[in-house]
Amino acid sequence: MDQKRVLVTGMGAITPIGNTVTEFWDHLLKGQSGAAPITGFDASRHATQFACEVKHFDPTAHLDRKLVHRLDRYGHYAMVATQEALQQAGMDLTSWTPAQRERVGVVISSGIGGFQTVEQQTALFQQHGPRRISPFYIPMIITNMLSGIAALELGILGPSYSVASACATGNNALFDAWALIQLGYADVVVTGSSDACVTPSIVAGFNAAKALSTRNDDPTGASRPFDLDRDGFVIGEGAGILVLESMEHAQARGAAPLAEVLGFGLSTDAYHMTAPEPEGAGAARAMTDLLRRSGLREDDVDYVNMHGTSTKLGDIAETKALKKVFGDHAYRLKATSTKSMTGHMISAAASVEAIATILCIQHDRVPPTINRATPDPACDLDYNTQGVAEITIRSAVSNSFGFGGHNTSVAFAKAGWRDDVHCA
């Protein structure tokens, strides 16, 4: 069976540095950090008192008030980003016929789910007993409800489910969406991921695991991938949504492609619950798998959006992995971390970074990795630390790795590039 080619035709984003794709891209190019003291709760007793929170976001400006009250914050982010993605794709699914909507799927996921609601409802239960628990408590916290609500609101009748693989969730959701189209289960899939886990117990839990930066005197400088003095990641929140569409379907309706999805690489470390394999072996297997399956040569790749969390072990392991896979070409790549600005958005990170990668391909520009004041000698690639780089980007890779040892890599290409290469 011939595999279908899959295009990205719409994108939506809610991030710590912008609540639309345009705002997000503008602030990436400016090298703007989204880190600031936490406003959502009193963090004075926490070891980490800052985060990359979403700012100036009012869900009632975009969603029906009843729906707002029935969703946790991570659901608000996902639904608003979905609206933006569908608008860019030029799709009003509610006007499509049932037969057309049977060919639309949705795979929107979360790694942690409605934890703000868990905390709030647990407090109510402890103070007032079980009768005070909201009837929407369970739907508000379960991660599959992102896909369920999107399908309900939009009338989607095709495949609908969610996946969870910690910080790799967004790439795994993207993989499933791509596979559904390639295997003929759908013509269009709305996909992505969302998390809103800047909450008291989640921040405390990551602190207990020694994962977060505690640079409370310098929030904007705290996320510093590849810097010798990095001391952990900065927790963030938000959502990224992409509309994937078969090339035939997009061409038939005259849609403008943003990029082509070339393929994926997947692997597992089987090493540690939270730490990466120190030599980057699992990450390297994922990228090698990606190149093999997508038909890319090492020197076809011009840019890598690295997982780049600003942790001691992770940044070194990923750098080693890139050198194993790309050899000398690793030093010619631009290999950056947008987490230096957005922080680590947990499961939303992969989807938002996929969007950032596509924007780089579209505009032939690479935003900087900020805050690398003292280079770590073990991190010796071109992380683009001196401002925006203007380069031709034919194809690019986005890496996302999750607690549990989940490794994912996805490749995108400039729309039409694959045809130009084939015809050359």
Q: Which residues pair with 305 in a beta bridge?
A: 336, 398
pLDDT at residue 289 is higher than 50: yes
Judgement on whether residues 245 and 378 belong to the same structural domain of the protein = no
Residue 2's pLDDT is what? 64
Element (H, E) at 121: helix 115-128
* pLDDT at residue 381 greater than cutoff 60: yes
**Distance between CA atoms of 310 and 278, rounded to whole angstroms?**
15
Residues 237 and 353 in one domain: no
230 and 293 in a single domain? The answer is no
Bridge partners, 160 (sequence order): 106
Does residue 407 lie in a domain region? Answer: yes
Are both 400 and 321 inside the same structural domain? yes
DSSP assignment of 170-187 equals HHHHHHHHHHHHHTTS-S
Residues 237 and 328 in one domain: no
**Same domain (yes/no): 74, 24:** yes
For residue 142, give its domain range. Answer: 6-252
Distance, CA of 20 to CA of 77 (rounded, Å): 11
Residue type, 232: G
pLDDT in tens, 14-72: 999 999 999 999 999 999 999 999 999 999 999 999 999 999 999 999 999 999 999 99
Q: Answer whether residue 344 is part of any domain.
A: yes
1 within domain boundaries: no
Local confidence band at 156 (pLDDT 50, 70, 90 cut-offs) = very high
Query: 391-412 pLDDT, tens per residue?
Result: 999 999 999 999 999 999 999 9
The reply to whether 105 falls in a domain is yes
- 181 and 201 in a single domain? The answer is yes
Q: Report the CATH number at residue 294.
A: 3.40.47.10
Residues 6+ away with beta carbon under 8 Å from 242: 8, 10, 11, 85, 174, 177, 190, 191, 192, 351, 354, 355
Confidence (pLDDT) at 195 = 98
Is the CB of residue 6 less than 8 Å from the CB of residue 255?
no
pLDDT in tens, 68-113: 999 999 999 999 999 999 999 999 999 999 999 999 999 999 999 9
* Listed residues 192, 227, 252: the one ending a domain: 252
C-alpha to C-alpha distance for 32 and 163, rounded to whole angstroms: 31
Q: Is the residue at 289 inside a domain? A: yes
Catalytic residue positions, numbered? 167, 307, 344
3-class secondary structure, 100:
helix
Residue 257 lies in a domain: no
Contacts of 96 (CB under 8 A, 6+ apart): 104, 155
- Quote the pLDDT of residue 421: 59
- Could you tell me if 176 and 154 lie in one domain? yes
Provide mean pLDDT across the span 151-178: 97
Instruction: Give the pLDDT band of residue 378 (cuts 50, 70, 90).
Output: very high
* Same-domain check for residues 23 and 164: yes
Residues 292 and 219 in one domain: no
| 419 is a domain residue | yes
Select from 201, 217, 252 the last residue of a domain.
Answer: 252
Q: How many domains does the chain have?
A: 2
Cα 326 to Cα 297: distance, rounded to the nearest angstrom: 9
The 10s digit of each residue's pLDDT in 221-262 is 999 999 999 999 999 999 999 999 999 999 999 999 999 999
Tell me, yes or no, whether 202 and 271 share the same domain.
no
Asked if the structure places residue 333 within a domain, the reply is yes
- Residue 3 banded pLDDT, cuts 50, 70, 90: confident
| 276 and 185, same domain (yes or no) | no
What percent of the chain lies above the pLDDT cut of 90?
97
pLDDT at 239: 98
Distance CA(165)–CA(264), nearest Å, equals 15
Torsion of CA 308, 175, 203, 214, to 10 degrees: 0
Render 42-79 in DSSP notation, one character per residue. --TTSS--EEB---S--GGGTS-HHHHHTS-HHHHHHH
Length of the chain: 424
End of a domain among 252, 271, 300?
Answer: 252
